[in-house]
Structure 1
Amino acid sequence: MNLSHLGVPVGPMIRVHGGFANRMYRLDTDDGSFAVKELNLVDRRWPYRIKDVLRFERAAFAAGIPMPEPISADHNTLVHRWVDGGKAEAPVSASYAFEIGEILARIHSLDVAWSDALIEEQASRDWAELAVQAAATGQPWAAELASQVETFLTIARFVDTCNRPGPVVLTHRDIQPWNLLAREGRPVVLDWELSGMLDLSGELGSTALSLAKGPGVDDIRPAIFRSVLDGYVAGGGTLPPPGPSWFAFIIGGWLGHTRWNILRCLAGVEASTGPDLALSHESVRDGVRGLPDLFCRLPDLEALLG
């Protein structure tokens, strides 16, 4: 990494653990503190659009969206001004959820050029083969995966065939509790590198559900879910029609994330970038156990939109 433009370091760069896709470091220099993100370019599910994302981030920051100041970006490194804050623990408060809704409406109103339209990734159908490989390599979650193969195939069909009503908006695409800070009780939006075009219902459903539930799906707070939507309307946004499309994006994203971590675990080596192997195993276990439970709750999730 060439970080000379950030000033003279006053100490060593420190790894900040916990990233699900990339690796983060803190660098303190005579010009301040910076978050330096080393992008995982080894086995990404899709390419990063660094220049487009940086332009989008700068527009959002200039518009007053609460977020770290974007400093620079190149093919494998993103740099932002460091922001102190606490973790956003879900379920969040109603006021926090409302403000996130307002922030989304402001993001969607930005006039930023984006070169490509939405391209949906097809859900993989190789779950049976992955279960066989997991058993052959002695993965600790192999039996659980094998028992859920048919469910995962059903989920894949749902993700690919669910009708998205539109409109399609340029947005963050990943406003989840782990990508948020709480500073004096108010949100700060982190990790913009997955930004792009997305069906509005998918963005709203993913965000509202993630902020309204605890670690599993047994503690979903309808009032918090509605607070995100109320904030979106208060911020000038218009809600799309209710339906399963509100949850297709979060379900499909979790499905793809689980498969990606399965592949990393099957490789059985500690990769030089991306999550540590132990975190990949944790992500697989969470997906194999949690995703079928979330999918079977789809009627209950749709009831949140009533």
Structure 2
Amino acid sequence: MDLSHLGTPTGPLLRVHGGFANRTYRLDTDRGSFAVKELKLVDGRPTYEVEEVFRFERAAFAAGVPMPEPISADHRMVVHRWVDGEKVPEAPVSRAYAFEIGEILARLHALDVPWTPGPLAVDPTPRDWPELAERAVATGQPWADELAAAVETLLAIAQFVAGCERPGPMVLTHRDIQPWNLLAREGRPVLLDWELSGMLDLSGELGSTALSLSKGPGFDDVRPAVFRAVLDGYAAAGGTLPPWGPSWFVYLIGGWLGFTRWNVLRCLAGVEASTGPDLALSHESVRNGVRGLPDMFGRLAELETMLG
């Protein structure tokens, strides 16, 4: 990695562990501290709209959105100024924190930023779960039996994702506001990891964000007051809420389905790839998916009733 534009290093490039998709490092130089993220590649091709995302980030930063300053970006590496803060646990956040996240989303959606992405390939909703389960059993994967037991549910989820109507409007947004992509600095949010930014149905963005911030690792303790606080903050900052319905959860469950399949394929390959998460983390992500996806899918009607 050519990092000469960041100044003269005052220490080694240090790996920061824990990323679910990319690999991140910290570099200290005579010009400050930087977060250097090595982007995952698929068959040598980029998986993010790097130039478009970088322009969106620059506009958000200039508008005062709390986030690390974007420094540079190309198809292999993005660099931000390092920001210190407390990690946000996977647990319900405070109502004040959730309210501010809603306000931030409204500000993001009001930005006038052009978005002209190139023709990156978009994978269809995955439906090859029976074949993947067979391969997992044949290769002795530690989660093979769980995957095999979940195949019918995963196919039903794929059908739900493909057939769910999105009411709109489409907005340019972060698309991945989860606890692990946030910091708390003096109790207030800092948004990290913008690589997935792009156009998204508004209900999917609001539902994914509000649900992720209002629960713990599972779905047994969802706090409706925290969920509502995100929406209240959005409305207070001038945002208009879309119609309530299943579309609020389709983006979250569909993204989780695709992410689980991506990690299944990494585990089936059985080798440490040069980019992306470590193999052990991929195994953990698969286990979380084959256990959590059926649980969430089975609770969709309950979530609509409780949170709507």
Q: Structure 2 length normalisation: TM-score?
A: 0.97
C-alpha contact (below 8 Å) 2:266/2:282 kept by paired residues:
yes
Offset from partner CA, 1:30-76 (integer Å, 9 cap, x none): 00000000001136997311111110000000000000000001120
Q: Supply the RMSD in Å over aligned alpha carbons.
A: 1.6
In 2, are the aligned partners of 1:168 and 1:199 still within 8 Å (CA)?
Answer: yes
> Structure 1 CA distance, aligned partners of 2:196 and 2:123?
14
More deviation, 148-157/116-125: 116-125
Matching residue's letter, 1:111: D
Distance 1:46 1:19 in 2: 17
Q: What amino acid is the match of 2:240?
A: T
Q: 1:117–1:197: 8 Å Cα contact kept in structure 2?
A: no
Correspondent of 1:170 among 169, 172, 180: 172
Aligned ranges for residues 17-96 of structure 1 at < 5 Å? 17-42=17-42, 47-89=47-89, 90-96=91-97
Query: 2 CA distance for matches of 1:166 and 1:120?
Result: 20
Range that drifts further, 44-53 or 125-134: 44-53
What is the alpha-carbon distance in structure 1 between the residues aligned to residue 118 and residue 213 of structure 2? Answer: 28
Q: Partner of 2:297: helix, strand, or coil?
A: helix
Q: Which runs of 5+ in 2 are unaligned?
A: none
Shift of 1:168: 0.3
> For 1:191-202, what aligned pairs fall within 5 Å after superposition?
191-202=193-204
Task: Answer with 274-283 or 83-92: which moved more.
Answer: 83-92
Q: Where does residue 100 of structure 1 map in the other structure?
A: 101
Partner in structure 2 of residue 159 of structure 1: 161
AA partner of residue 100 (structure 1): I
Residues 274/171 of structure 1: CA separation in 2 closer, same or farther (3 Å cut): same
Secondary structure in 1 aligned to 2:67?
Answer: coil
* Change over 3 Å in CA distance of 1:57–1:193 after alignment to 2: same
- Distance in 2 (CA, whole Å) between partners of 1:245 and 1:228 is 17
Residue pairs, 1:286-297, within 5 angstroms: 286-297=288-299
Look up the match of 1:10.
10
Match of 1:233 in 2: 235
Q: Which residue in 1 is equivalent to 2:139?
A: 137
Separation of aligned partners in 1, 2:247 and 2:45: 22
Q: In the alignment, which of 184, 187, 211 is matched to residue 186 of structure 2?
A: 184
Cα distance in structure 2, aligned partners of 1:63 and 1:44: 34
- Counterparts of 2:187 and 2:44, CA distance in 1: 34
- The worse-fitting range, judged by mean Cα deviation, of 56-65 and 84-93 is 84-93
Shift of 1:236: 0.6
Kept in 1, the 8 Å contact 2:52–2:117? The answer is: no
Match of 2:130 among 116, 128, 131: 128
Assess if the C-alpha contact under 8 Å between 1:45 and 1:260 holds in 2: no
Secondary structure, counterpart of 2:35 in structure 1: strand
Unmatched tracts of structure 1, length 5 or more: none
Moved over 2 A (4+): 42-47, 116-122
Match of 2:209 in 1: 207
2:244 corresponding residue in structure 1: 242
| Identical counterparts, % of pairs | 76
Q: 1:302 aligns with which of 296, 299, 304?
A: 304
Looking at structure 1, the residues matched to 166 and 230 of structure 2 have their Cα atoms a distance apart, in angstroms, of 20
Q: Aligned partners of 1:116, 1:274: CA distance in 2, in Å? A: 23
Residue 121 of structure 1: how far off its partner (Å): 4.6
